[in-house]
Amino acid sequence: MPDGKIAEPHYPTVEFVLDAIAGWINKYRELGRANREFEHCSQEDVKQIAKDLRLEVGQLRSLAAKGPGAADTLQKMLVALSVDPKVLAESDPALMRDLQRLCIVCGQKGRCRHELAQGTAAEHFHEFCPNAYSLDALFDKKTSLKPVAPR
């Protein structure tokens, strides 16, 4: 080495494993933070929040544990289906909460992200999306929603 430094060995497999472990640790920390969101609330406050959202306290805690971005794919799915998420949230907040709740607990997020990335989500969402029935009902009354401009 011209500057007198010794080159450190590079081990891609070890680096991959260490990165994966670091990712798990960070996810665990995030989940812990989500569970602690309620530690500054009284039990009555938590019960009221759950009631306002039409959930049981256990359901609320379970949903909060999924983290803040757990329903992000819903926004993308709505756009793929030409529904403006903001307009839907304003026009029917209860429906939007129900859609978010199902999206948060969905076991098909990998397929959803893949279909969204491929641009095929609108064609195939009936095959995997737990919100398909509600979304179909939404399309029946969609005339009141402003569609997102095509890209």
- Is residue 58 assigned to a domain? yes
Q: Is the pLDDT at 35 greater than 60, yes or no? A: no
Can you give the residue range of the structural domain that contains 29?
Answer: 11-68
At residue 54, the pLDDT reads 75
Mean pLDDT computed over 94-123: 91
* Residues 145 and 115 reside in one and the same domain: yes
More confident residue, 46 or 6: 46
At residue 149, the pLDDT reads 46
Q: Is the pLDDT at 144 greater than 60, yes or no? A: no
Q: Which of 54, 143, 134, 67 is nearest to 105 (CA)?
A: 67
Supply the pTM of this predicted model. Answer: 0.59
Instruction: With both helix axes pointing from N to C terminus, report the angle between 72-80 and 109-118 in degrees, rounded to the nearest 10.
Output: 40
| Total domain count, the chain | 2
Query: DSSP class of residue 38?
Result: T
At residue 146, the pLDDT reads 46
Give dist(CA 113, CA 125) in Å, integer.
11
Q: Is the pLDDT at 130 greater than 70, yes or no? A: yes
* Residues 88 and 131 reside in one and the same domain: yes
Query: What mean pLDDT value characterizes the chain?
Result: 79
Q: Is the pLDDT at 2 greater than 60, yes or no? A: no
The pLDDT confidence band at residue 28, using thresholds 50, 70 and 90, is low
* Residues 86 and 110 reside in one and the same domain: yes
- Is residue 29 assigned to a domain? yes
The pLDDT confidence band at residue 133, using thresholds 50, 70 and 90, is very high
More confident residue, 89 or 68: 89
* Residues 23 and 46 reside in one and the same domain: yes
* Residues 61 and 74 reside in one and the same domain: no
Give dist(CA 48, CA 102) in Å, integer.
21
Q: Which of 38, 68, 98 is the last residue of a domain?
A: 68
The percent of residues in the chain predicted with pLDDT above 90, rounded, is 28
